[in-house]
Structure 1
Amino acid sequence: MIGCIIQARTGSSRLPGKAMKLLDKKNTILHYVVSQLQHSELLDDIVIATTDLEEDNIIAKFAQENEFKCFRGSEKDVLDRHYQCAKKFAFSTIVRIPSDKPLIDPQIVDDVIKVFLKSKYDYVSNFLPYTFPYGTEVEVFSFEALEKTWKMAKLPSEREHVTPYIYNHKDEFKIFNVTSSKDLSHLRWEVDREKDLELVKIIVERIKNRPILLKDIMNLYSEEPTLFNMNKNDNPNEGYLKSLKEDKEFVKKEKSKHG
């Protein structure tokens, strides 16, 4: 079974409560993520995986009210949350989509899944390196790869960001990256900060098609390129870089334990 796990929580330091922020008069970022993914032709199931913290009851309630499946697990050990979720729902193939991508393109998702299924890879993504815009990232991996990662990953960055152990151990996994025919990595519509939210609200307002596809956004970009400058200077990998600093502290502590 091909299952999509949407990673969602309210405790973001850069934009608190972002998953539940409105993009239009009635629909939240998280609602858009699920709605876009429901247009995938290859996904068998979609689950929102949030934390077991009280502050994330709002996400569980949202899922229940909209009849979306929900799983609750560890706040910090996001790898464990994904593993337990995939295990519970018996996913043999996992598609991982964080909830800061309200304009995730279901056609791109299906394209990456097709590559994964066709060549028996352990892991396929479309951002190693980036050629697609930020906000269209897709990761597809086998349950076996997830289970191995769950057992082997030790560093804080590997537990928090789920898949670094896989792509940092290319000798252990069969990995492939899907690239865009044109490099669009200078564009960004993932929601990390207030400026990103403003941009995505404008995109959602201007484009009437549902789902909103990459080609629709590129049409808007060709008409109004300056619109996409509003969130240009932010560092999209800030969270991962912070985790790498935590890794150094972790390694120091481990050495002193065994030293």
Structure 2
Amino acid sequence: MRVICITQARLGSSRLPEKVLKSVFGRSLLDYHCSRVSTAKIVDTHIVATTDTDLDKTLVEHIKTLDIRPAPQVFCGSEHNVLDRFYQAAIQANATEHDVIVRLTGDCPLICPGLIDEVVAQHMTHNPTGYTHLSLGYWARGFDVEVFGMPILTDTWLNASEPPELEHVTFYMYSRPQSYPIMSVENGHVDYSQLRLCIDEPDDLTMFDTLMQTLGEELAQMSAVEICQALLAHPEIAQINQHVEQIIPSSLDEEIV
């Protein structure tokens, strides 16, 4: 059994074009993301799943320059059928029915390796035949982690047909709890859900840049709790992007990443 982590990323975002290549402290957002994923102890393979468009050729070349070990693999697939892109990335990695799949998005530069490990461990122990996710009712958005087995991904790919199911990889799964048991991994005691760490709009980028300017490179090494506590200690920074509304995952208007 392997744990295969797949990060969706592309440059064709309308809300913040080419966001994953935006530079903060001399590094791209995707660089921060992939560097943090590389330190997850439970992940065996990391793939960045992008599109086969001309625009994303720049992204592919950028990934090749990242000084990260182990280096992430790259898969190029459908721009609009994200489910197919995601599934084919797993196939390229020779995923088998015994493998666990982790879904991430590249607009989360502070994705937490410790939380990836925790959600995967909880999934394997308590919900191996279902869909497991990090609870954003407790954790900040931007730490998003979803976990499921390759059999569920295959079943989803074979049966999903509606636009939301093809645009949002896991929509088919979590909208069918009768078929795929759902488990939410919480932190149990502290509510950080008011904080926002993903990068969708210019003010999100301003927040991250300001936080990095305030804390320096140490921020890139912090745990999820340390990052959240740092934001709470600097409410003026947390307020920069508090007005940004997260689009509901079931909406047809949600960004494809």
Q: TM-score when scaled to structure 2?
A: 0.89
**Cα distance change, pair 46–11 in 1 and its aligned pair in 2 (3 A):** same
Give the structure 2 partner of residue 103 of structure 1: 110
Aligned residues with identical type, % of pairs: 30
Alpha-carbon distance in 1 for matches of 2:214, 2:224:
14
Matched, 1:195 2:203: yes
8 Å contact kept, 1:195–1:230: yes
- Say which structure is richer in helix: 1
Give the structure 2 partner of residue 21 of structure 1: 22
Question: How far off its partner does 1:8 sit?
Answer: 0.5
SS of residue matched to 1:54? coil
**1:64-94 deviation digits (Å, cap 9, x = unpaired):** 2235310000000000011011011023211
Matched, 1:234 2:244: yes
Alpha-carbon distance in 2 for matches of 1:115, 1:94:
13
Question: How far off its partner does 1:238 sit?
Answer: 5.6
Alpha-carbon distance in 2 for matches of 1:217, 1:233:
20
8 Å contact kept, 1:158–1:165: yes
What amino acid is aligned across from residue 133 of structure 2 in structure 1?
Answer: S
Q: CA RMSD in A?
A: 1.6
**1:97-138 deviation digits (Å, cap 9, x = unpaired):** 1111000011111110100111224211013x6321110110
Correspondences of 1:3-14 after superposition (within 5 Å): 3-14=4-15
Alpha-carbon distance in 1 for matches of 2:222, 2:24:
13
Alpha-carbon distance in 2 for matches of 1:51, 1:212:
31
**Cα distance change, pair 188–93 in 1 and its aligned pair in 2 (3 A):** same
Which residue of 191, 195, 199 maps to 1:183? 191
Give the structure 1 partner of residue 87 of structure 2: 83
Q: Aligned pair count? A: 242
Give the structure 2 partner of residue 54 of structure 1: 54
Alpha-carbon distance in 1 for matches of 2:197, 2:22:
15
Alpha-carbon distance in 2 for matches of 1:233, 1:242:
21
SS of residue matched to 1:131? coil
Alpha-carbon distance in 1 for matches of 2:222, 2:55:
30
Higher Cα Rg: structure 1 or 2?
Answer: 1
Alpha-carbon distance in 2 for matches of 1:109, 1:239:
20
SS of residue matched to 1:185? coil
**1:32-73 deviation digits (Å, cap 9, x = unpaired):** 110011110000011111000000001110122235310000
Alpha-carbon distance in 2 for matches of 1:233, 1:222:
16
Alpha-carbon distance in 1 for matches of 2:113, 2:184:
17
Correspondences of 1:1-259 after superposition (within 5 Å): 1-25=2-26, 27-66=27-66, 67-91=71-95, 92-119=99-126, 120-127=128-135, 130-181=137-188, 182-207=190-215, 208-209=217-218, 210-237=220-247, 240-243=250-253
Deviates more, 1:65-74 or 1:228-237: 65-74
What amino acid is aligned across from residue 245 of structure 2 in structure 1?
Answer: N
Question: How far off its partner does 1:239 sit?
Answer: 6.8
Contiguous gaps of at least 5 residues in structure 2? none
